[in-house]
Structure 1
Amino acid sequence: MKDQLETWHINNRINLYLLDVIEESALEDVSASKGRKVGDQFAHLHNVRLMWLKAAAPELLEGLLKIDKEVKINKEILQTELHKSAEAMAKLLEKSLAENKIKGFKPHPTAFLGYLISHESHHRGQIVLTLKQAGHPIDQKTQFGLWEWGSR
């Protein structure tokens, strides 16, 4: 269980590492296909976590803010809320791993962890592509850093 929880925390640190290098103004960048803004992508990660918490462990939602259209998205809000939702998700994972089940998801909690990380990795890729298309590419050090899970 310890390894799975650490893996989840590394994933979140990678998200925050990417967010940290993005200029505040670049949160407004939109992809060439007119998808979500960069800031909205990060908000989506957080909001999907809340969706799973609501379904599987609503008691863990206390103190968490849904980042919807009325919330002015900035790096501070994203960093704070991603950190808080990651902690709540870690509690959900810990409980689910101990019980070997997660409400609303099959087949098992380790697969759920894989699902969560796959989803968030997909959106990190979209964020990087959007920034590149908008003329704000992340530097090469950060690009490689997204894959250095052993140092995050």
Structure 2
Amino acid sequence: MSATSPLAETWAIGARISRYLLDGVPAAALDATPSGKGRTVRDQFAHLHDVRLLWLKAARPDLMDGLAKLGSGSGADHGALAAALGASAAAIERMVADAEAGDGRVKGFKPHVTAFVGYLLSHEAHHRGQVAQALRLTGTPLDKKVAFGMWEWGVR
């Protein structure tokens, strides 16, 4: 799906950064958690997808066709996580583009769609940081190319 506006495109870039990070996580590190409790790296990515679905269900349930929650402890591999993140990102992108073309609002979120995108980008960045920290603390730091590549928004 191509972005229909700079705001929808901004969301899509941020979502691709989350996917880029997932692609940089070794399969053996998906179950990493720094303290032995809390969300694993795998669960962090599932959480991103599930929060996107939470907003879709509240604001645009018509965009939920074919989307299913992953949940903590899902055991989803890289492929399943990537597919879920891709599908939920596309649905959010559509919701953002439609909101912009409409009244500029997302049902259940105040004040407007631009703030909604800021909220989601902040949420995802927070969890990307948690993933990077978990990997570092468990002895599998991100490859420098991936760590720096997350900031290359012009090419992602």
Residues paired across the two proteins, number = 152
Cα RMSD after superposing both structures: 1.3
Gaps of 5+ in 2: none
Matched, 1:89 2:92: yes
Matched, 1:66 2:79: no
Q: Report the residue type matching 2:63 in the other structure.
A: L
The CA deviation at 1:35 is 2.4
The CA deviation at 1:71 is 3.2
Q: In structure 2, what is the equivalent of residue 30 of structure 1?
A: 33
Aligned structure 1 segments of 4 or more residues deviating by more than 6 angstroms: none
The 3-state SS of whatever aligns with 2:107 is: coil
Provide the C-alpha distance between the structure 1 equivalents of 2:61 and 2:47, rounded to a whole number of angstroms. 18
Matched, 1:16 2:30: no
Q: Report the residue type matching 1:131 in the other structure.
A: L
The CA deviation at 1:33 is 7.2
Provide the C-alpha distance between the structure 2 equivalents of 1:2 and 1:13, rounded to a whole number of angstroms. 16
The 3-state SS of whatever aligns with 1:121 is: helix
The 3-state SS of whatever aligns with 1:7 is: helix
Matched, 1:135 2:116: no
TM-score by length of 2: 0.93
